[in-house]
Amino acid sequence: MGNKTLCEWRRHDIPEHLGVLRKIIRKPKFICGKCARSANDADYLCQPLKLKKE
């Protein structure tokens, strides 16, 4: 999926790249403040927010 953020994935991208998606969302550390998607790396989100408060 290159440098696409998870937020940019389209519906048909999900079944095609399910293996990648599983890795990205397995242990989410960030959540997108705009799209409510979660990921283990801020780079996958357009407006990353830390999931846990520190």
Q: Interface residues with Zn ion (CB under 5 A)? A: 7, 32, 34-35, 46
Query: Smaller CB distance to Zn ion: residue 23 or 46?
Result: 46
> Minimum distance from CB of 49 to Zn ion (Å)?
10
Query: In which element (H, E) is residue 38 found?
Result: strand 38-39
- Residue 28 Cα distances to 1, 22, 31, angstroms: 18, 10, 7
Structure tokens at 45: 């989100």
> Minimum distance from CB of 36 to Zn ion (Å)?
8
> Minimum distance from CB of 53 to Zn ion (Å)?
20
